[in-house]
Structures are given as C-alpha cells and as structure tokens.
C-alpha cells in the first residue's frame, strides 16, 4: 500500500443522485482514485458504490456488521458474508455512534468481530473515550477495555481506529501529543496481548480536515485516518488523501 490508509465514513448521508456525483468527482481526482483509500457508505448504497468503483482501486467499506453470522430469520440485518459478497474490503465495528445510540458493548462487538474475521473482510475496530473519561485520567484504561475483544488474535488481523468521542463531529481535534500517546499505548497493548509481530495498523479519527491532516498523519504511529464530515466533500477529502499519500 502506498502511503497511509484513508477511510471516508459517510455515516447516514447520501442518496442515489448525490452519491453518484460525489463518487464521480472523487474518481476524477488523482489523490483519491488510488489504492489506500476506502469509502464506507450506508449498507443500502454499497451495491451502487461497488458499481461506481468497479474499475477503481478505491476500496469499499461497511459501517457495521450484523451480530448474526449466517443467513436466517433476522429481519433488517446484513451479515459479514453478505458484505464480503458485496466486495467490502473493510467493515467498521463499534463506532462510538453505535456504542452510544445502539448500546453496543464488548459482548456484542466480540461476536461481530468473530463473524467478520470468518470472512475476507478486514474489521476496523473503533475505540474512543468520552471527554469525562479523559478528564478523569482513565482514558488509557477505557481504550484497553474496548480492545479486550481483540486479545489473542494474530497481530494485524484487526485494524484499530482511535476516535476520541469528544473529537467526533465537533471540530475539536486531539492534540498531536494526545494522539501519539494513545496510538503508542494501543500498539503496545497489541504487542502484549496479540500473537505474532505483524504490523499493527491504527487509524486516527475525529475532526480530521484538510488543514490538520498532514500534521496528524505525520505522526509515526498514525497509520491512516478515518474521516467523517470531510469525506462528503471532494476538495477536502482530496487534500486529506494527498497528505496521506505523501507519508508512509
């Protein structure tokens, strides 16, 4: 992979028409239309994106995975094998919005993680502390608890995305020192609690924008970015992808 990975998380945004415009604009951009970039659309639009991205190296990603692993009577659910069938290379798991609004905890996320690992889809486990947890000084322990479900796995099998809850959609970015401390701590935890010595990929997310991407992505232990709002704008996303491409 050249450069660092950038995943655009569209969250619950889009329509057939706006997705088509957005993706076509992205594919015309040199910095976006390359390996090392992925787009996570709502499930309903994955097929449309798979189609639009057919001849592009930009990868497809899902925003969530069902806790049910195989076909069955689970109305409304989309399983990991279905996401693999759709061509998803990555699936986000445990995004803070899912932990918050859908009360996803380690029990259900552990099942989702195992279901995803049983397919060719790479899970991207999102972790992050609230402002209160950070201010009370227990942020490192909170993240270790969230990582617990990835203990014992082969190193590198699960990608981690560190997204401080207080930095998501707020315009408040963690300082470079805070990001470095947490990424180092996550990597040290993986080394201690996982098997083998394959490279561990840790992405940063939380108000990554065109004007701060380069500084954040320059940190050695930051292996890429998980981008929300700025991934809905071709110009901003292109600048983030450009910053990532320059930094290996």
Q: How far is CA 57 from CA 37, 39, 92, in A?
A: 8, 11, 19
Catalytic status, residue 163: yes
**Least gap, CB of 188 to ligand 13P (angstroms):** 24
Is residue 224 involved in binding ligand 13P (CB under 6 A)? no
Q: Which of 104, 129, 133, 163 is catalytic?
A: 163
How far, in Å, CA of 1 to CA of 14, rounded?
Answer: 28
Contact letters for ligand 13P, residues 12-41 (x by CB under 6 A): ------------------------------
Question: Which CB atom, from 79 or from 96, has the smaller least distance to ligand 13P?
Answer: 96
Q: How far is the CB of 44 from ligand 13P (least distance, A)?
A: 18
To which H or E segment does residue 173 belong? none
Euclidean distance between CA atoms 69 and 139, whole angstroms: 32
Q: Are 226 and 163 in contact (CB under 8 A)?
A: yes
Instruction: HSE, CB side, 13 Å, CA atoms: give it for residue 56.
Output: 24
User: Residue 90 pairs with which residues in a beta bridge?
Assistant: 61, 122
Binding span for ligand 13P by CB under 6 A among 24-32, 45-53, 64-72, 163-171: 163-171
Which distant-in-sequence residues (6+ apart) come within 8 Å of 245 by Cβ? 2, 3, 4, 31, 34, 36
Q: Which of 95, 139, 183, 201 is catalytic?
A: 95
Pick 83 or 155: Cβ nearer ligand 13P: 83
Judged by beta carbon, residue 4 or residue 95, the one nearer ligand 13P is: 95
Establish if 9 lies at the interface with ligand 13P (CB under 6 A).
Answer: yes
Q: Using the rule CB under 6 A, is 228 a contact of ligand 13P?
A: yes
Catalytic residue IDs: 95, 163
């Amino acid at each position: 992979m050249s450069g660092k990975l950038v995943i655009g998380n569209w969250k619950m945004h889009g329509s057939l028409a706006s997705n088509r415009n957005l993706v076509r604009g992205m594919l015309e951009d040199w910095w976006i239309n390359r390996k090392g970039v992925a787009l996570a659309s709502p499930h309903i639009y994955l097929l449309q994106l798979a189609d639009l991205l057919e001849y592009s190296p930009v990868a497809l990603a899902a925003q969530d995975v069902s806790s049910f692993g195989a076909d069955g009577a689970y109305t409304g659910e989309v399983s990991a094998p279905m996401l693999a069938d759709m061509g998803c290379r990555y699936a986000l798991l445990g995004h803070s919005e899912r932990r918050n609004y859908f009360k996803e905890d380690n029990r259900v996320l552990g099942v989702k993680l195992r279901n995803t690992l049983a397919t060719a889809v790479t899970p991207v486990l999102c972790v992050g502390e609230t402002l209160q947890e950070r201010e009370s000084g227990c942020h490192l322990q909170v993240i270790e608890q969230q990582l617990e479900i990835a203990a014992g796995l082969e190193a590198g099998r699960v990608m981690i995305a560190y997204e401080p809850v207080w930095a998501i959609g707020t315009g408040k970015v963690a300082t470079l020192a805070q990001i470095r401390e947490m990424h180092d701590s996550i990597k040290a935890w993986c080394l201690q609690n996982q098997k083998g010595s394959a490279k561990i990929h840790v992405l940063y997310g939380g108000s990554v924008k065109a004007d701060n991407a380069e500084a954040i992505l320059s940190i050695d232990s930051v292996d890429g970015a998980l981008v929300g709002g700025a991934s809905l704008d071709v110009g901003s996303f292109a600048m983030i992808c450009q910053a990532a491409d320059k930094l290996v």
